[in-house]
Amino acid sequence: DMAALEIELLQCRSDNFGVLVHDPVSRRTVSIDAPEEAAIVAALERRGWYLTDIFTTHHHPDHLEANLALKARYDCEITGPKNEADKIPGLGFAFGDGGAFVWAGRPVMVIETPGHTAGSMSFIWRGHLFSGDTLLIDGCGRTDFQSGSAQALYRSITGVLFALPDETVVWPGHDYHGRTSSPIGHEKSTNPRVSGKSEAEFIAIMEALNLPRPRRIDEAVPANLTSGLRHDAD
């Protein structure tokens, strides 16, 4: 029963999404990435939910900055990509491509979607895709630093994510235009970065972006980050 599922989208830092997924039957709540402790705790308290899990999509600091604080507060389990296990604080469970585990009574499919980082991972649960910075709404994550690869990202999006059923709902790690989610079928047909583009065209688009280097990207787990880092650009 999809109606029983509750999803809360939080604006964290300046432009990160925190996504809380709550299953009222099991009373489990997962945070997809953990960008900011205060925003996540406030939302949990407002809804009367208790955090049981964090699913980490990749190792960039703006996605896991609150891992250790939330783990200390709630004793929650942190699950993330095996390929980046050494870079994810508090990680309890690491999965590789095709891994699966049960959360709130339903299987979570784990798929490696490299490109934004070499170990980026996406999670699929009950028809919802949590894509981190791999696939954004009408966009995609940047590929120009920290193990990024435009070729790998193109293959992850077009070969893996676009093979999912059209009605699969994409929940991205960022959006810069006030949108929150999008069906995969919409992204397949209209995403300006990828839709109808060859691999060579996509690589050329990504190489031409010339995005500014995130100011503090080289710090492993920075404290009190004040500026968000854009992972996309128009």
Residue ranges of the chain whose pLDDT lies below 70: 1-3, 213-234
Between CA 225 and CA 213 the distance in angstroms is 15
As a residue count, the chain comes to: 234
pLDDT per position as a tens digit, 131-149: 999 999 999 988 887 789 9
Strand partners, 106: 103
Which residues on neighbouring strands pair with residue 227, listed in sequence order? none
**What pairs with residue 28 in β-bridges?**
23
Q: What is the pLDDT of residue 213?
A: 67
- The dihedral of CA 224, 232, 84, 204: what is its sign? negative
Q: What is the pLDDT of residue 14?
A: 72
Give residue 104's pLDDT.
95
pLDDT value for 214: 62
DSSP string of 139-204?
A: EE---SSSS--HHHHHHIIIIIGGGS-TTPEEEES--SSS---EEHHHHHHH-TTTTT--HHHHHH
Distances (CA, A) of 180 to 16, 113, 172, 213: 11, 20, 8, 25
The reported pLDDT for the residue numbered 233 is 46
**What is the reported pLDDT for 112?**
96
Amino acid at 193: R
Tens of pLDDT, residues 89-139: 999 999 999 999 999 999 999 999 999 999 999 999 999 999 999 999 999
